[in-house]
Amino acid sequence: MNETISSSSHDYGSEKTVSKPTNGMLFLIMNSLLILICTGLFIFAVTYPLPLVIRVSAIVITSVLGFIVGPILYAGLKVIKPNEALVLTLFGKYYGTLRKEGFYFVNPFCTAVNPAANTDPTTGNPKQKTQTELIKASTGSVQLTNKKVSLKAMTLNNEKQKVNDAQGNPIIIGVVVIWKVVDTAKAVFNVDNFIEYLSIQCDSALRNVVRLFPYDASEEEDEKSLRGSSQEVAQDLKMELQEKVLVAGIEIIEARITHLSYAPEIAAAMLQRQQASAIIAARQKIVEGAVGMVEMALNQLSDNKIVELDDERKAAMVSNLLVVLCGNRDVQPIVNSGTIY
């Protein structure tokens, strides 16, 4: 029952690891042998004729050790799986954390604490009971809640929410956050429910970051936007969220935008605006290309001395070529057998 507890920090709320807990299998064997021996001595004291004082003493001692102390000590056996931790308190005081996988024995009066045991880590909402759990609850069966804190990397898929961007446009945005617990003492004791705390802080950080960026920005503006600079926005969101959940002993591994769209009330108008911007940009490219092609045609005709064109003929040729190159419909060729005069 002797454990050596090493503290990683002297600050309140920092994690203390139970570094050398008692081997659980060894204690299980010894305690079982103790109960068997006490049971045998109890039977011997009751059936064998002994002096009254010795008989009473033997019965009392074996009864206490074999039928009271022994079964109580079994409560101190703990099984820890990989990437799990057990936060223990002893009469209200933080006792230590079991982090290494194995089978251990600790003080049987230690109580495991996990305020987020009934919270879904993927959504931050209370867990939905299965059909089997509902049947057990209706029949009055005792259900044991898993009090172990998971140290695995988990995914929080936060609900979509309406947020205003930097230009005041309402948008619908959703994010996914990959996180894990790195300090079990802070996660259990510094906040009421570390999963709900993470979900709420995720909403707050998302609003703070989104209002700094517009939904979309043109290439000429060279401005970061939610749609065009998703990597930068995700990095800012990760940093903002990490600062907020540091008190809860949580590390943010990654944050990504999973959904981004305009709110329904302005979606149609913004779609028309995007279409108009796309048409203008396309027309600009077409005109720039057409002007270059006309210039190239005039230069080649002049350099190769194919035909001599005066200013009026050049103007007519430029007009015809621009109509052909910039038009939306197929060209209807016209054969001119005369002159333009």
Closest CA to 247 of 281, 197, 204: 197
Structural domains of the chain ordered from first start: 5-113 (no CATH), 149-262 (3.30.479.30), 271-326 (no CATH)
pTM for the model: 0.70
Rounded Cα distance between 62 and 47, Å, is 14
Q: What pLDDT is attached to residue 118?
A: 81
Closest CA to 327 of 275, 286, 296: 286
Query: Is the separation of the CB atoms in 117 and 150 below 8 Å?
Result: no
- Walk along the chain (341 residues) in steps of 10 and give the mean pLDDT of each run: 44 68 87 89 80 80 84 88 90 88 88 85 70 47 68 87 84 90 90 90 90 75 77 90 91 90 72 70 76 78 71 72 66 58 52
List, as one string, the DSSP characters of 34-64.
HHHHHHHHHHHHHHS---HHHHHHHHHHHHH
Closest CA to 159 of 145, 173, 169, 171: 173
| Adjacent-strand bridge partners of 256 | 176
Phi, psi dihedral angles at 333 (to 5 degrees):
-70, 145
